[in-house]
Amino acid sequence: MDVFRLVVVPLTYFMQLIESCLFTLVRWYDEYMYSPLQTALWPVVAALPRSLTVDGRTFDVFTANIVSWARTLLVIPIALYLKYQLYWWGFACVIFHDFLDHLDGIVAKVQRQKYGQVDDPIVGGFMDAFCDKIVNVFSLWSVLMVTDFSQMSAAQICLYIGACSIIIAYEFALGIVRVQDFFRAYYYREFKKTDEMSTKTSTAAVMEGKLKEKLESMGIAALCVAQSNIVPLESVSGILGVSCLLLSVRLAHSSLMSKLEAREPLLRSHEHASDDEDEIKTRNRTSTDSLSELKNFTKDRQAQINRSDSRDSAINPITLDSTLQRS
């Protein structure tokens, strides 16, 4: 136990220190990269038309959702560049995807200010997060498909495949949860029900989500470049890529747990509703049984009365003859 504490406690503090540094980097990124980028792109996005009219028909050509769908298609060139050993072009596509991830948010803000709430916020939020997961999963899968494992040791293979596979698994699970939450929120709104899970997202959760996406994007981009080496894990880019993926594992786990924990009030309310329904059914069943017993008792009692009346009204012929003779 003492040995366990000597190993785990320092490691925990070390990881917390690293995460604190990473959160600081994310704040700096937002302050010195994203905010200036938003300021520079705002007038450009505002000048671009949202829709075009052709032959009297209006088509949306530039919306936040269209940007999200477009960046999802980048998984195709990423896979092709990796297949044909154009690794730096694959790296550029991953970085471009990260830029478009910022752009769709800027487009949503600009058009909401310019046109009002023209886009469905539920669909927009779902598309933004779900498209990230599609790109991350398929990009990591492409990286695994093109990696040459013949020159790696068993430990390197386990570390490399393990880091990629864990992120793929978490992203897949988060994607499923996102889909379920989207349909729940959408139909709750359609039927004008209160969604007990639609609580305000905390700042810490938002920061964790941003940091997770940045680490995964950096990891995928670095692994694209690492393919140019005979042994990817013996290069700086390979070590950086796997390190970023491993650092994002805890954040992915935290994101998944927070989404699942948000469902607990809803599940409890459903359990209470189910218990109430069972109690009502039990009461109805008891009332039905009591009514049935009362009907059976009434029927038996009526039968007894009828039999008694029949005996009283029956006349014995012998007794009648004797009575007549005496008279």
The count of residues in the chain is 327
Instruction: Compute the radius of gyration of the chain from its Cα atoms.
Output: 36
Residue 285 has pLDDT above 70, yes or no: no
Fold (topology level) of 2-261 = Four Helix Bundle (Hemerythrin (Met), subunit A) (1.20.120)
202's tokens? 């905390």
- Most confident range, picked from 133-142, 246-255, 257-266, 269-278: 133-142
Distance between first and last Cα of the chain: 115
Residue 52 has pLDDT above 50, yes or no: yes
Q: What tokens were used for 38?
A: 């938003």
**What Cα–Cα distance (Å) separates residue 221 from each residue in 12, 84, 159, 166, 239?**
28, 16, 18, 17, 12
pLDDT of residue 54: 87
Kindly state the average pLDDT of the residues 125-149.
93
Nearest to 170 by CA among 130, 128, 133, 131: 133
Which of 259, 131, 135, 252 lies closest to 185 in space, CA to CA?
A: 259
List all residues 6 or more positions away from 208 whose beta carbon is below 8 Å from its beta carbon: 251, 254, 255
Question: Residue 28 has which token pair?
Answer: 């700096």
d(CA 254, CA 252): 5
Q: How much is the average pLDDT of 223-246?
A: 93
Residue with tokens 């009461």: 283
pLDDT of residue 319: 47
Question: How far is the C-alpha of 23 from the C-alpha of 84, rounded, in Å?
Answer: 36
Helix, strand or coil for residue 289? helix
Euclidean distance between CA atoms 122 and 170, whole angstroms: 22
When pLDDT is averaged across residues 109-119 and rounded to a whole number, the result is 88
Strands 51-54 and 57-60: antiparallel
| Amino acid identity, position 268 | R
For residues 251 and 237, what is the distance between their CA atoms, to the nearest angstrom? Answer: 22
This model's pTM is above 0.85 = no
Tokens of 163: 């880091």
Closest alpha carbon to 61 in 107, 122, 105, 126: 107
Q: Provide φ and ψ at 129, rounded to 5°.
A: -75, -40
Say which residue, 20 or 134, is predicted with more confidence.
134
pLDDT in tens, 78-108: 999 999 999 999 999 999 999 999 899 899 9
DSSP per residue, 18-80: HHHHHHHHHHHHIIIIIHHHHHHHHHHHHHS-SEEEETTEEEE-S-HHHHHHHHHTTHHHHHH
* Higher-pLDDT residue of 197, 248: 248
Looking at every residue in the chain, the average pLDDT score rounds to 81
Confidence of residue 71 (pLDDT cuts 50, 70, 90): very high
Question: Residues 212-229: pLDDT tens digits?
Answer: 898 999 999 999 999 999
CA distance 196 to 188: 10
DSSP secondary structure letter of residue 161? H
Q: Percent of the chain, pLDDT > 90?
A: 40
Rounded to 5 degrees, φ, ψ at 57 are -110, 135
Helix (H, G, I), strand (E, B) or coil at 229: coil
Question: What pLDDT band is residue 320 in, cutting at 50, 70 and 90?
Answer: very low
